[in-house]
Amino acid sequence: MKTVFVDPLQCIGCRQCEFACAVEHSRSKEPFLAIFEDPPPKPRIHVEIGPYQGSSFPNKCRHCNPAPCQQVCPTGAISRDNEIVLIDIDKCIACAMCAMVCPFDTITFHAQANAAPPKVVATKCDGCFDRVRRGMEPACVEACKVGALVYGELNDVIREGRNRQAILAVNASAGEAVREDPLEDWRAWGKEVAKVAGGV
């Protein structure tokens, strides 16, 4: 099973993944033209502010199996295509049952341009299934330049994470300095900027 793995320690809150996602789901698929579309394209990934200056988390659909959103949808608008949970906007009535049961709060409601006529419907990550079928990475992963979003086989990504943790543990037991946050300098700079600006 291939999936997008989120590493919040790497995220710097640049929101490039949000922009790339919105453009990918626009009619034009062009950054400059997408901003003039009506209704405007919306991202399916949401970068939320973390608990301290310089921290953030890119939140997206996990395509649960079984998917609570699919189980409660009264019109059958939510279905599964292999490992991806999809929404059929022609069947969606925006009742918000899916959003109420989503354990990760990833479903939002926006007017969709590809509905005829445009109507407000449930909007969530579709795994960029068109891109993936063409052998490409999801748009959010391609846009992420700091490695906060990684696309790959789930067990391979988890194994890499375990290997990183093992290296940290071995280094710590050997008395070597361990930097738990790989972006510590970036975050420290953010805190200093906030202080100078009179913020937190």
Residue ranges of domains in the chain, CATH in brackets: 1-60+125-200 (3.30.70), 61-123 (3.30.70.20)
Per-residue pLDDT of 119-155, as tens digits, reads 899 999 999 999 999 999 999 999 999 989 999 887 8
Q: Over the chain (200 residues), what is each successive 10-residue block's mean pLDDT?
A: 85 94 94 92 92 84 94 96 91 96 95 75 94 94 93 85 78 66 68 70
DSSP tally for the chain: helices H, then strands E: 8, 8
Q: Is 115 exposed, middle or buried (0-12, 13-18, 19+ CB in 10 A)?
A: middle
According to the model, what pLDDT value does residue 22 have?
96
* Dihedral angle, C-alpha 79, 90, 130, 11, nearest 10 °: -80
Cα–Cα distance, 71 to 150 (Å, whole number): 28
CB 173 within 8 A of CB 166: no
Separation CA 98–CA 73 (nearest Å): 6
SS3 (DSSP) at 190 = helix
What's residue 181's pLDDT? 59
